[in-house]
Amino acid sequence: WFDVSIPWLDRVIHRKPRVTLRAVDGVSFHINKGETLALVGESGCGKSTIARLLAGLYQPSHGSIEFDGQTVQSMSRKARHAMRKRLQMIFQDPYASLNPRWRVGRIIAEPLATHTRMTAAQQRSKVDELLAQVGLDPNDQNRYPHQFSGGQRQRISIARALALGPEFLVCDEPTSALDVSVQAQVLNLMKDLQRDLGLTYLFISHNLAVVHHVADRIGVMYLGRLVEVATRDDLFANPRHPYTRMLLGAIPDLTGAGRARVPVGGEVPNPLNPPTGCTFHPRCPHANDRCRIEAPATLSYGDTKAACHGLEEGRI
Ligand code: SF4
Ligand code: MG
């Protein structure tokens, strides 16, 4: 349904002197309609870049993104506009994305005012419906963003994202700014909305415990590369890539398998000067000479895909 293949994507992070960063390096994956694909990794791994590519906020210079059978780069302006309505984005910090001087009713109605011919009365009743859908009160239309808690503000941005009836939501760390107890409520709301409205999610997070709660499939990213893609259950029960194992070792056990808790070791290398070969080799307990020279190819292990020489060689 959504097919993504990006051989590389460089981002200019400083103009004078010019410094570019390979934000995405050889990433390809697909998203099935109605599922949640989560991308996880430490900050700077390229997951937000991928989110913005899919949301149409960046144009890929190479490779292709296909949405529902159409190549995004070669779409007409009209087709791209139509796609925008089907695809919405939810950000980490709801407060930053809500205009503090606007009442909530106007904030949620803005996409309706821009993209539809609804009258003011029709917009108001649609906003009532959207507020109810996200568990807020219709009277909240007349209040301002600062009068709401963090979790309520994220509900407001979800209501705005739903206004045009999208099919696909790109969610970049949507609950990372919230307290743990509030996170669970917002995640449950997102799951309910997915079930009721048939939504598809790309869910970006640095937190595997959060991802365990929502994802059908999980992609693990490291320094711009996708190192493992698996179903959620396979990933937690049988992680393949050494980096995935390291990430899982750092979180409390969620599966009941009694895994020992080990912190994530080593530091993420400077992405401007990534290590040669497998970029994970300085942190990997299984690295050998080949790992230091040659980048591993992505291969299938059952339903899981992973990029690791040690797996390929059968020594992990
Ligand atoms: Fe470790 Fe080598 Fe696999 Fe990279 S390719 S994760 S260094 S074993
Ligand atoms: Mg980010």
Q: What is the pLDDT of residue 262?
A: 53
- Return the ligand 1 atom nearest residue 309 CA: 5
pLDDT at 69: 83
Instruction: Please state the atom number of ligand 1 nearest to the C-alpha of residue 227.
Output: 6
Per-residue pLDDT in tens (0 to 9) along the chain, 316 residues: 877 777 777 777 777 777 777 788 888 889 999 999 999 998 888 888 888 888 877 777 777 888 888 888 788 888 888 888 899 999 887 777 899 999 999 999 999 999 899 999 999 999 999 999 999 998 999 999 999 999 999 999 999 999 999 999 999 988 888 888 899 999 999 999 999 999 999 999 998 989 999 999 999 999 989 999 999 999 999 999 999 999 988 766 555 454 555 556 677 787 778 899 999 999 999 999 999 999 999 999 999 999 999 999 999 9
Residues with Cβ within 8 Å of residue 281, at least 6 apart in sequence? 275, 287, 291, 292
Q: How far apart are CA 135 and CA 294, in angstroms?
A: 52
Buried b (16+ CB within 10 A) or exposed e, 45-66: bbbbbbbbbbbbebebeebebe
Query: In a 10 Å sphere around its CB, with 0-12 CB exposed, 13-18 middle and 19+ buried, how is residue 176 labelled?
Result: middle
Spatial distance between the Cα atoms of 122 and 181, rounded to a whole number of angstroms: 35
Amino acid at 125: S
For ligand 1, whether the C-beta of 94 sits within 6 Å is: no
Looking up tokens 């929502």 gives 214
- How far does residue 211's CA lie from ligand 2's centre (Å)? 15
> 280 C-alpha to center of ligand 1: Å?
6
- Residue 281, ligand 1, Cβ within 6 A: yes
Domains of the chain: 2-312 (3.40.50.300)
Tell me if 87 sits within 8 A of 168, measured CB to CB: yes
Mark the residues whose beta carbon lies below 5 A from ion ligand 2: 48
What pLDDT does residue 252 have? 61
- Is the distance from the beta carbon of residue 60 to the nearest atom of ligand 1 less than 6 Å? no
- Cα 226 to ligand 1 centroid, rounded to whole Å: 13
Give the number of the ligand closest to the Cα of residue 172. Answer: 2
Q: Is the CB of 280 within 6 Å of ligand 1?
A: yes
* Long-range contacts of 260-265, Cβ-Cβ distance < 8 Å, separation of 24 or more: 264/42
Would you state the pLDDT for residue 118? 96
- Does ligand 1 lie within 6 Å of residue 242's CB atom? yes
Atom of ligand 1 nearest to the CA of 316: 8
Phi, psi of 10 (to 5 degrees): -100, 140
Ligand 1 pocket test: pick from 279, 283, 293, 308 the residue with the most ligand atoms within 8 Å of its Cβ. 308
Q: For a substitution probing ligand 1, which of 309, 312, 313, 316 has the most ligand atoms within 8 Å of its CB?
A: 309
Q: Using alpha carbons, select from 74, 68, 57, 53 the residue that is nearest to residue 6.
A: 53
Q: How far is CA 66 from CA 63, 94, 126, 204, in A?
A: 10, 29, 31, 19
Which of 128, 104, 131, 133 shows the shortest CA–CA distance to 118? Answer: 128
Length reported for the chain? 316
Joined tokens for residue 107:
């904030």
- Between the CA of 224 and the centroid of ligand 1 the distance, in Å, is 16
Find the ligand nearest to 205 CA. Answer: 2
Give the pTM: 0.90
Q: Assign 3-class secondary structure to the chain.
A: CEEEEEEEEEEEEECCCCEEEEEEEEEEEEECCCCEEEEECCCCCCHHHHHHHHCCCCCCCCCEEEECCEEHHHCCHHHHHHHHHHEEEECCCCCCCCCCCCCHHHHHHHHHHHHCCCCHHHHHHHHHHHHHHCCCCHHHHHCCHHHCCHHHHHHHHHHHHHCCCCCEEEEECCCCCCCHHHHHHHHHHHHHHHHHHCCEEEEEECCHHHHHHHCCEEEEEECCEEEEEEEHHHHHHCCCCHHHHHHHHCCCCCCCCCCCCCCCCCCCCCCCCCCCCCCCHHHCCCCCHHHHHCCCCEEEECCEEEECHHHHCCCC
CB atoms within 10 A of CB 186: 22
Q: What is the distance of C-alpha 266 from the center of its chain? A: 24
Dig out the tokens for 117 from the structure: 């011919």
Flag whether the ipTM exceeds 0.90: yes
Q: What is the pLDDT of residue 80?
A: 81
